[in-house]
Structure 1
Amino acid sequence: MRKQDFVTDTMSKFSSRGHIHRIRVFIIVALVIVVLLLRVPSSVQTYAKLKDHSTPQIPINPIVQLQEQLSQQVLGVKKGLDKSAVNQYWDDVFAIYRKHNINNTPSQMPVPGSEGYGFDPTGMNPTKSFLEARTKIPDSLVRDIKRVFGSLMTDLPKQLLPATYKSGSSGVVMIGGGRFSWLSYLSILSLRRTGSNLPVEVILPTYKEYEEELDFCKLTLPKLNAMCIVAPEVLGESVMISLPEKFKSYQYKSLAIISSTFQNVFLLDSDNIVLRNPDHIFNSKLFKSVGLITWPDYWRRSTHPVFYNITNINVNLKRRTRYNRFPLVSNEDLKESDLKDVPFHDLDGAVPDLSTESGQLFINKKTHGRSLLLATYFNMYGPKFFYRLLGQGAPGDGDKDTFVAAAHVLGEDFYQVKSFIQTVGHFEPDGFHGVAMLQKDPLKDFEFYSQELKTKLLPAKDKSLAEQVEIAKSIEQEHFTGQNTVPPFTVHCNFPKLDPLDLMSRESIYNATENRLKYKMFNGFTYISPAHEQEVEFEHHQWLTIEDTLCHQKVHFSHFDNHDLKHICQFIANHLSTFQKPTT
């Protein structure tokens, strides 16, 4: 065969093989396109059914770990899920919120009563007349808000879109950004020291905060089985733009929960330190039966009675069903003369005392999805109306009562921890200064409460109402004070926070001459660590952690940028050497 014929024959064979290969590729591509086209209507139909509010739960795809690149790291949604469908769902939900906007003019705003906002309901008797006198609310405004709320209940979805969370997953959710990233890191370290294996998601409200926290998100958190999620990536840019101006940090708690990928959420404030492993709580009978666990604040509930009118909740003025947070089983109707002395929230249909402290809560987004949607609405228009209605300016005014209020309105179960707060602090010349709130172990608390309910409260059903009140009062005073034997679960270091920059700016506690604190903030508070079966001095341990993080490991946090870290580390060392020797 001539060389030219050989070349021609060879080229012909390759040309024929290439043609066959192109045909195969074309067939494969065509099949892929057909499959995708078949999947699209299914996805659209699923979403359309969910917008109809009545479709049952559907299977969802598993979560994937966020990748290193910005576009993937901030994704925060599931593999195989059309991100635009999740964004569209939240866009529709927030459109419902905007449709039912609470946009009061100054003349319509609830105005202070005779004693004004900021009253302390502790020690007072918050009867119906007492609460109504705190805030003057025009009848016309009540009618308008009631109409808006009724329409909202018609439009609000009956459940969360199931694909917004991974079915059966559990984890811890915090809010980060700036100093909240620093505080979250301390909290996560303490969480890991308890032996907890729960994944953690730190929610960042904006892309800008993500860009400022790149080291924190990409280098620091992954070592602790934690990750960043940027809320706009999950909720959509249009939702974030639609939020009211001056949206405050505590308003973001409900947004953090809905932005997270967990079904079962342990929401933890960034300045809250866990002392006991929380992992088993998600599998407890208590959590599985109620789906929402909350903790008490210091104050009696100060919700205005108008709230129940607006939300169509009937409060039976003739039936007292509890003393404070403990149930009564009497069938006696109240006399007209008794009503003036009975606390309003002891009545049948009202939310039980005490008010809520939302530095920590457990919630199941599958069973309490609608409560979460309603709580988000309450927070969206909280400063304009609902915070004033729920708290009336009592201490801690803000998001704290919105979660329980939403569940109560919708008739969804919840358990409020009965043990009171144990306050930790130090003494200064002008008296005691509390710096942290110790909240008690919810399962141990429920165990104690169930025992008292079984042995003392329920057997008293044949006693008079007055006798039952005395029994409940004795149970409260003997077994559910802040000093009871229920072990502490979290230390909410709310004021001041464990932030060296903040502490060094406070003249009342900072000794600038010696570059240290004037006082031992936690006054030698110790606890027994279940993970290590030893006594730990809380403050000493936290300052050692702070020193190790900033001064030895030199972990980078944007919060400390443009500050003299050497000076900060000297402050920490001075404070440790002066005060933080473990007490015996």
Structure 2
Amino acid sequence: MDALTRQGKSVAFLRHFMLKVFFFRGARAKSLVIILLLPFTFACLIYRLGIYDDFYVPTQVLGTRLDASNHGPSGWWAEFFARLEETRVTARDVKMRGRGPSINWKPNINATRPDLIQLREDDEAKFRQSHAAFVYQLALFSSHLPYDAGTTGIVTTAGVSNFGQVVSMVLMARQAGSRLPIQIFLDSSSPWVDWICSETMSRFEAKCVSLENTWGGIRHSLPRRLVRFQWKIISIIASTFQNVLFLDADCLPVLNPDPIFDRGSEPFASTGFISWPDFWVTNTSPRFYKIAGDIEVPPVTPRTSPEAGMMVYDKARHADTLLLAAYYNYNGPKHYYPLFSQAGAGEGDRESFLHAAQVLRALREKGLYQQPTAWMKPGVGVRKGYYDVKTLPAVHGRSARGKWTGMFMIQKDPMADYRAAMAVIDKDSKKNKSKMKPGPSENQPSSLPKRNEAVAMVEEQDFLTDTTPLDTFGNLTLALKDHDSRTMFFHHNGVDPDFTRIIDRKSRMVVTNEQGKYVRLWGDPRWIIDSFGRDVEKLLWEDSMQVYCQKGLARFRRLQKVCTRMREIYEQVYA
């Protein structure tokens, strides 16, 4: 039932009820009923006049048109939540002495790692016990992570409130030339979201997935409700793809990302995990490294804090990395998130992914973790490691009426970034006459007991990439300024790229100049046209109008207004 139908029924019910009150016997009774009816009458009038808009209110039950994940609740998901709950952190909520600093990272920065965590010895012991218990079962647990072998796709997560951003992301991916299938994991739905999922997304080879419907009875037995950041790791794990490009709903591809996964393409072939940098100096507490297994505390100077708006994973190689990240996020809001960021800029899930990879590498080198080896097959041409893009992000904004507004972060092509980094390392290695280029790991063999002969035949070190040379992030960043690095993503974390909100007064998507004329979303288009060979912004408007002006969406009053406003702005700015 859409909003207009509900509104009509509400008004009819109110009229019928008022007639009953009018003929009700007894003045005192009439007065009492009228007083009780006033709040309801007021609410109906607000709704009738359009003052209240329930467009973004999620339905209690997700739309029946949504597709369910192939991974049913009876097997792996039950094990997943059971293992997380069995090893959950039982320590008190983490407290801090003040807030961690928000410092912009730059090469050779003079900064120290803050230590603001207040943690009693018994709580730290509970942290260590929990972490060790999860890692102990990790090799077995990760050996049967479900996915469809050999598949590759884009994954994102959203709800009713930001589904408009997902529409923009899907349109931009196709505009950029991507042919990868897309899975959209929804934590909530509504009639308009349901309709677009069913009638529109299939044209773009995108599928909406309701995890909560898939979990069935498990959803009601979960000891805690998943919130905001926790959905990201769940969506990556739940995706049926083996190779995943995860994108935040507001992360718009402007360069085709598909070649990242081509056979032999670097850095994916050598690592199976790619992350991108943020602006900030990392604030991860020294206590975290102690809790994780007394591993070495790294300096803050080599690399920035990572962002999590875009990530690349091969689940075959990094099943254990993903599941450890899931553990950090399951225990995140009150425990690991404060340890990772100490209330600094961007506290949330972003530190959990790269830290999971770093922790497992450190534990393996200490002989405290034995990873799965089933994926280690000669002739496939892949190794395991991690690559964090070395080129720093940039900010792009728009000026109007003398005010500058940050719109998005510019993130680079990891393939071009890797080639530039290798060129710098090769140059340095020739200068120093030493081999620095990343390759098979030369770490000492694990001190863990030997495995069975079939597994022992695998030369594990031949399948691991030694990323030590790439840990000189700071020096690489300076050197990369002389190399061409292509832009691949606009991470729209400044202004939400949601066209369903352009009719809202508080929306910053559309603004006017001093003459009262609408201005472009991204300002002067020349640099974008020069960079990508097309007017990316104009094409996004055209594609978005094709979606929101469909006849099937005309029954939603807000989308009627959105379509009218989009056409008005397009004629004034882009025609």
TM-score by length of 1: 0.69
The aligned runs of 1:148-159 (5 Å cut-off) are 148-159=130-141
Distance 2:169 2:335 in 1: 33
Q: Which residue of 2 aligns with 1:417?
A: 389
Q: 1:242 to 1:199 in 2, by over 3 A?
A: same
Of the three residues 349, 356, 360, the one matched with 2:310 is 360
Deviations 1:60-105 (A, max 9, x none): xxxxxxxxxx889633217xxxx45xx3222122112112223454
Give yes or no for contact 2:282–2:300 (8 Å, CA) kept in 1: yes
* TM-aligned CA deviation for residue 268 of structure 1: 1.1
Q: Secondary structure at the match of 1:249?
A: coil
Distance 1:117 1:102 in 2: 23
Distance 2:251 2:121 in 1: 41
1:556 equivalent to 2:547? Answer no
Q: Which residue of 1 aligns with 2:541?
A: 543
The aligned runs of 1:367-378 (5 Å cut-off) are 367-378=317-328
Q: Secondary structure at the match of 1:506?
A: coil
* TM-aligned CA deviation for residue 234 of structure 1: 4.4
Of the three residues 103, 112, 115, the one matched with 1:120 is 103
Q: Which residue of 2 aligns with 1:222?
A: 202
Distance 1:522 1:103 in 2: 47
Distance 1:458 1:232 in 2: 55
Q: Which residue of 2 aligns with 1:307?
A: 288
Of the three residues 256, 275, 290, the one matched with 1:294 is 275
Of the three residues 396, 399, 403, the one matched with 2:349 is 399
* One-letter identity of the residue aligned with 2:496: K
Distance 2:414 2:342 in 1: 28
Give yes or no for contact 2:496–2:509 (8 Å, CA) kept in 1: no
Q: 1:94 to 1:472 in 2, by over 3 A?
A: closer
Aligned positions, number: 452
* One-letter identity of the residue aligned with 1:382: G
Q: Secondary structure at the match of 1:367?
A: helix
Give yes or no for contact 2:89–2:126 (8 Å, CA) kept in 1: no
Q: 1:373 to 1:555 in 2, by over 3 A?
A: farther
Give yes or no for contact 1:425–1:522 (8 Å, CA) kept in 2: yes
Q: Which residue of 1 aligns with 2:57?
A: none
* TM-aligned CA deviation for residue 490 of structure 1: 0.9
Q: Secondary structure at the match of 1:419?
A: coil
Q: 1:89 to 1:515 in 2, by over 3 A?
A: farther
Distance 1:221 1:577 in 2: 26
Q: 1:163 to 1:472 in 2, by over 3 A?
A: closer
Give yes or no for contact 1:235–1:259 (8 Å, CA) kept in 2: no
Q: Which residue of 2 aligns with 1:102?
A: 89
Q: 1:240 to 1:453 in 2, by over 3 A?
A: farther
The aligned runs of 1:72-83 (5 Å cut-off) are 74-77=67-70, 83=72
Q: Which residue of 1 aligns with 2:149?
A: 167
Distance 1:507 1:177 in 2: 19
* TM-aligned CA deviation for residue 478 of structure 1: 4.8
Give yes or no for contact 1:358–1:400 (8 Å, CA) kept in 2: yes
Give yes or no for contact 1:307–1:390 (8 Å, CA) kept in 2: yes
Q: Which residue of 2 aligns with 1:479?
A: 480
Give yes or no for contact 1:292–1:363 (8 Å, CA) kept in 2: yes
The aligned runs of 1:147-546 (5 Å cut-off) are 147-160=129-142, 162=144, 164-205=146-187, 209=189, 213-239=193-219, 241-242=221-222, 244-245=224-225, 247-283=226-262, 284-315=265-296, 344-346=299-301, 353-411=303-361, 413-427=385-399, 432-456=404-428, 459-460=431-432, 475-480=476-481, 485-503=484-502, 504-506=504-506, 519-526=519-526, 535-546=533-544
Of the three residues 75, 80, 93, the one matched with 1:93 is 80
* TM-aligned CA deviation for residue 217 of structure 1: 2.5
* TM-aligned CA deviation for residue 409 of structure 1: 1.1
* One-letter identity of the residue aligned with 1:443: M
* TM-aligned CA deviation for residue 513 of structure 1: 12
Work out which of the two has the higher radius of gyration on C-alpha atoms and give 1 or 2. 1
Give yes or no for contact 1:292–1:415 (8 Å, CA) kept in 2: yes
Q: Relative to structure 2, which stretch is displaced further, 139-148 or 155-164? A: 155-164
Distance 1:275 1:148 in 2: 42
Q: 1:571 to 1:374 in 2, by over 3 A?
A: same
Q: 1:428 to 1:529 in 2, by over 3 A?
A: closer
Distance 1:538 1:516 in 2: 24
Distance 1:182 1:473 in 2: 38
* One-letter identity of the residue aligned with 1:279: D
What's the Cα RMSD here? 3.5
Distance 2:146 2:526 in 1: 41
* One-letter identity of the residue aligned with 1:98: E
Give yes or no for contact 2:406–2:495 (8 Å, CA) kept in 1: no
Q: Secondary structure at the match of 2:405?
A: strand
Give yes or no for contact 1:264–1:365 (8 Å, CA) kept in 2: yes
Give yes or no for contact 2:250–2:497 (8 Å, CA) kept in 1: yes
* One-letter identity of the residue aligned with 2:102: F
* One-letter identity of the residue aligned with 1:396: G
Distance 1:519 1:457 in 2: 50
Distance 1:493 1:267 in 2: 15
Q: Which residue of 2 aligns with 1:39?
A: none
Q: Secondary structure at the match of 2:142?
A: coil
Q: Relative to structure 2, which stretch is displaced further, 541-550 or 499-508? A: 499-508
Give yes or no for contact 2:87–2:131 (8 Å, CA) kept in 1: yes
Distance 2:336 2:119 in 1: 12
TM-score by length of 2: 0.70
Give yes or no for contact 1:74–1:229 (8 Å, CA) kept in 2: yes
* TM-aligned CA deviation for residue 181 of structure 1: 2.9
* One-letter identity of the residue aligned with 2:158: G
Q: Which runs of 5+ in 1 are unaligned?
A: 1-69, 318-343, 347-351, 463-467
Q: Secondary structure at the match of 1:213?
A: helix
Distance 1:241 1:496 in 2: 37
Distance 2:131 2:91 in 1: 14
Q: 1:571 to 1:316 in 2, by over 3 A?
A: closer
Give yes or no for contact 2:186–2:211 (8 Å, CA) kept in 1: yes
Give yes or no for contact 2:497–2:509 (8 Å, CA) kept in 1: no
Higher RCO (CA 8 Å, separation ≥ 6 residues): 2
Q: 1:428 to 1:213 in 2, by over 3 A?
A: closer
* TM-aligned CA deviation for residue 526 of structure 1: 5.0
Distance 1:497 1:112 in 2: 33
Distance 2:516 2:562 in 1: 10
* One-letter identity of the residue aligned with 2:68: L
Q: Which runs of 5+ in 2 are unaligned?
A: 1-62, 362-383, 435-468
* One-letter identity of the residue aligned with 2:75: Q
* TM-aligned CA deviation for residue 516 of structure 1: 8.1
* TM-aligned CA deviation for residue 221 of structure 1: 1.5
* One-letter identity of the residue aligned with 1:287: F
Q: 1:230 to 1:157 in 2, by over 3 A?
A: farther
Q: Secondary structure at the match of 1:439?
A: strand
* One-letter identity of the residue aligned with 1:345: V
Give yes or no for contact 1:96–1:156 (8 Å, CA) kept in 2: no
